[in-house]
Structure 1
Amino acid sequence: MSSEVGDAERALHRRMGLACAAATAAGLPGRFRVWEHGGLLAVLATDPALGFLSTVSGVTPETLPALDGLLAEPGWDPTVLTTGDEVPEGLVRAEDRLLAVRRLGEPPAADPGVTEGDVVDVLLAGYEVTGVVAAFVAAEHRVPAMRRFLLVEGGTPIAAAGMTVHGDVAVLGGAATLPAHRGRGAQPRLLRHRLRVAADAGCVLAVATARAGSVSAANLGRAGFRRYRRSAWTKP
């Protein structure tokens, strides 16, 4: 694993720590835990609707021996994410995920259509989610450390995105556009704006995740992100 990927995964892990703490404080169902074990980065969410959050990352040749002990802990069935050639013993492949990383240099120009404000309503409408998932998204994007951005057209917010800063790494997460306004470049604009804010905050690295082959993944590539495919592994 490159140092760039390692820094990115640790920043994502800290972001998940904020999100899970907020979910616990909001009284969401199930149990949340974010911890390290033998250099591995682990996340637990026991409610079935949030099972996609349960992951193990930070897998390297040095940390791989600790994986068996971690997976033996009762009460969870995580997805193990690897970015190198590691093959976890006894696991089978699942749908890969994408990690995108960009070194920050000269920041893009400011976007006059982007403002800061409460993004929750726009995000939930853009994601088209309800129930526990919606409650988790709302809790995550109301933590004090979250920077919240709205793209406004004609006085109406049409897209939203979030960002947190962890040391000198910015995690760009939580981006959605209202269905009626998709395909018009809203997310690239919010992406460029957050890169500027991150650079102004002294960050040297920006990190995001996306589904492989998605529009979001394509937008990240066009914005200069190096995209790493994360091999996903689960218990048979």
Structure 2
Amino acid sequence: MREERAYLVRIVTRQALDRLRALGRRKESYVGPWLPEPLLTAPDVAEDVELAESVSMAMLLVLETLQPIERAVFVLREMFSLDYDEIADVVDKSPAAGRQLAYRARAHVAARRPRGTASAAETRAALQAFQRAVETGELQSLLDVLAPDVVYLSDGGGVKHALLRPVVGVDKVARLLATGWWKRDGKRSVELVQINGGPGLLVRIDGEIDGVVAVRVENGYVTGTYHVRNPEKLSRVDRETAMTR
């Protein structure tokens, strides 16, 4: 059984590495910021804090900054608790090299992962306020709910209109959201949902899904907004994706 497990882990990891390298080449010519594909998740995912953080948009973006082999080692060690001998065999490295890769990846992630926390009540209140502000375009309401150093990223993949650079700072992000810059002619609706285990908004124009906004809430304020409009990445937001450890 152990040999079968090791074989399966090796095959899956190598396929994942090939996929990561292919995505890396694609991202070199990608138009604007690249965001992970959003998933519509069930509310119970958010109740498992560890699981929710591991699949959150913010954490996935941190993992994207790792080299493919570092990311593979990090996931195998931190998510699946494989020992270093197993990891070394999977990635064709010595146990010592595997330990060094794991240490470097862990330190990299620890330095960049979001620090603040928010209770369920704080998150719900912040998201509801954010939703109302986005729907109405009321500038003061946005200023009240956004953190001073809030970051806004949008991903249209060159197919839909999106901003080519991150927008940082409460004044800039608030004014941007207040204008509803992504809105084309038609009726816009905004629905509260769970995206990648965290709070988010599902945006529809004339009843059709136009995009999702994953929201990071820390200490009662919105600190990160990740707006995905690329149609190729929206295939899994019309139904919930089951997630377990």
- Structure 2 length-normalised TM: 0.28
- Answer 1 or 2: which has greater strand percent: 1
Q: Looking at CA atoms only, which structure, 1 or 2, has the larger radius of gyration?
A: 2
- Structure 1 length-normalised TM: 0.28
- Answer 1 or 2: which has greater helix percent: 2
